[in-house]
């Protein structure tokens, strides 16, 4: 049986970085990893294994008892973030972390330091996996995939452990907010599920941001600068004017806890045309709607000043706070809490300052809270994960399954 670290190190070699294209999945590497997972699932003799045209992998391990047990689902996503390069990932393994600086890349002088990331000091004496400073690591969410696969493989090799039907799924395009677009809940077959897509060890989450993506387009007028007075409309400068009308103290770097934000993720601009891309996040639905309205109002004011349709705003909702759908079946959170305690993990119930496939799936009729993978600093070159945390995630999955079987 392959351990969780071996699986993880194998999966991160696949370039599954998603993008904003209209393809499904958005990038071909996601299908390549999906095919490998299908092959491994077949080797485990799971049932109803499928890889559909959209890139969703599904399978199940049938119940081995006649006892009435809910069908449990476990879900992770195939893609990695568009925020940083995910090709040619070369993990750095620190076997016995001593509490000092970790040189990720000598040539580029990239250092993972506890001065910047004090949480490293929680892992003195532990084995860590980090990046080489040139890519992200991909623990979000290949650690989740590895943890689910390892747990299922363990169950498959220990038939003496009673369990109900266990459903697993690996989804594409989660990082661009489209992971549940074509998720077939009926085929999946679970009564409720867990995404294995959280951060540091112990995280247990059933609240998340309400989320939307925003495109702000600015139409300019390019005139030779020598004769531009009263005629030129510089779209790049107008884009800057738009940016400064949003509150600078409501950005990701200035907010925490239940505070929402506007996040400028991309700027593209010339004199003739410019485009801004934002994401809006807020836990409170009314405040979320006000944020969307404020972006539209800024465009309206600028159009009064510079002319109709100079600035256009396109807003697309991505997912909603799952709390409303989880609370009526709170036992799924309570059971995960008990499972963590039983395997020696301190449960940390906190809101997700982000989202998972589970947010949308919960509104589609499949309540799906989120459990830790063990990783830190997702989406960038300072990403790392302790291997013992991945092992504990496997233990938690197995314990949840056992707790439901013993009810």
Two tokens, residue 60 = 């199940």
Are 41 and 59 spatial neighbours (Cβ–Cβ below 8 Å)?
A: yes
Measured CA to CA, the distance from residue 316 to residue 226 in angstroms comes to 40
235-243 vs 285-306: helix axis angle to the nearest 10?
140
Are 281 and 260 spatial neighbours (Cβ–Cβ below 8 Å)?
A: yes
Measured CA to CA, the distance from residue 161 to residue 289 in angstroms comes to 48
CA distances from 388 to 10, 124, 327 (A): 17, 12, 31
DSSP annotation of 121 = G
Helix (H) or strand (E) holding 325: helix 323-326
Are 274 and 235 spatial neighbours (Cβ–Cβ below 8 Å)?
A: yes
Measured CA to CA, the distance from residue 83 to residue 176 in angstroms comes to 10
Kindly name the residue from 79, 203, 282, 391 that is annotated as catalytic: 79
Q: Is 174 a catalytic residue?
A: yes
Are 50 and 57 spatial neighbours (Cβ–Cβ below 8 Å)?
A: yes
Among residues 380, 359, 391, which one has the least CA distance to residue 179?
A: 359
109-130 residues labelled b (16+ CB within 10 A) or e (exposed): ebbbebeeeeebeebeeeebbb
Are 383 and 375 spatial neighbours (Cβ–Cβ below 8 Å)?
A: yes
Beta-bridge mates of residue 215: 277, 314
Kindly name the residue from 174, 207, 282, 357 that is annotated as catalytic: 174
DSSP state letters, 268-317: EE-SSEEEEEEEEEESSHHHHHHHHHHHHHHHHHHHHHH-TTSEEEEEEE
Among residues 340, 342, 351, which one has the least CA distance to residue 393?
A: 340
- Catalytic sites, residue numbers: 79, 174
């Amino acid at each position: 049986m392959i351990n969780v670290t071996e699986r993880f190190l194998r999966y991160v070699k696949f370039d599954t970085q998603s993008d904003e294209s209209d393809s499904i999945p958005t990038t071909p590497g996601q299908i390549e990893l999906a095919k490998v997972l299908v092959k491994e699932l077949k080797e485990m003799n799971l049932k109803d294994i499928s890889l559909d045209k959209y890139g969703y992998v599904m399978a199940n391990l049938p119940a081995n008892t006649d006892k009435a047990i809910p069908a449990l689902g476990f879900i992770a996503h195939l893609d990695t973030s568009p925020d940083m390069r995910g090709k040619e990932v070369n993990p750095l393994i620190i076997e016995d972390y001593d509490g000092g600086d970790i040189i990720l890349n000598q040539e580029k002088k990239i250092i993972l330091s506890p001065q910047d990331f004090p949480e490293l000091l929680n892992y003195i004496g532990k084995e860590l996996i980090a990046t080489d400073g040139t890519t992200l690591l991909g623990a979000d969410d290949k650690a989740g995939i590895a943890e689910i696969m390892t747990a299922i493989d363990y169950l498959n090799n220990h038939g003496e452990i009673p369990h109900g039907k266990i459903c697993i799924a690996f989804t594409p395009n989660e990082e661009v907010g489209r992971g549940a677009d074509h998720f077939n809940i009926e085929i999946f077959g679970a009564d409720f599920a867990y995404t294995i897509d959280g951060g540091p060890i112990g995280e247990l989450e059933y609240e998340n941001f309400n989320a939307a993506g925003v495109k702000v387009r600015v139409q300019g007028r390019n005139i030779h600068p020598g004769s531009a007075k009263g005629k030129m409309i510089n779209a790049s400068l107008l884009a800057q004017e738009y940016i400064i009308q949003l509150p600078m103290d409501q950005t990701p770097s200035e907010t925490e806890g239940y505070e929402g934000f506007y996040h400028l993720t991309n700027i593209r601009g010339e004199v003739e045309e410019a485009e801004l891309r934002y994401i809006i996040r807020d836990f409170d639905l009314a405040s979320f709607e006000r944020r969307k309205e404020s972006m539209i109002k800024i465009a309206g004011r600028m159009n009064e000043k510079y002319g109709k349709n100079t600035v256009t705003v396109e807003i697309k909702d991505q997912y909603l706070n799952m709390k409303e759908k989880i609370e009526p079946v709170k036992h799924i959170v309570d059971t995960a809490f008990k499972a963590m305690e039983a395997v020696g993990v301190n449960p940390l119930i906190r809101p997700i300052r982000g989202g998972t496939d589970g947010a949308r799936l919960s509104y589609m009729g499949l309540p799906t809270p989120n459990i830790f993978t063990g990783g830190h600093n997702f989406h960038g070159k300072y990403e790392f994960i302790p291997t013992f945390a991945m092992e504990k995630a496997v233990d938690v999955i197995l314990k949840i399954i056992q707790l439901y079987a013993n009810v």
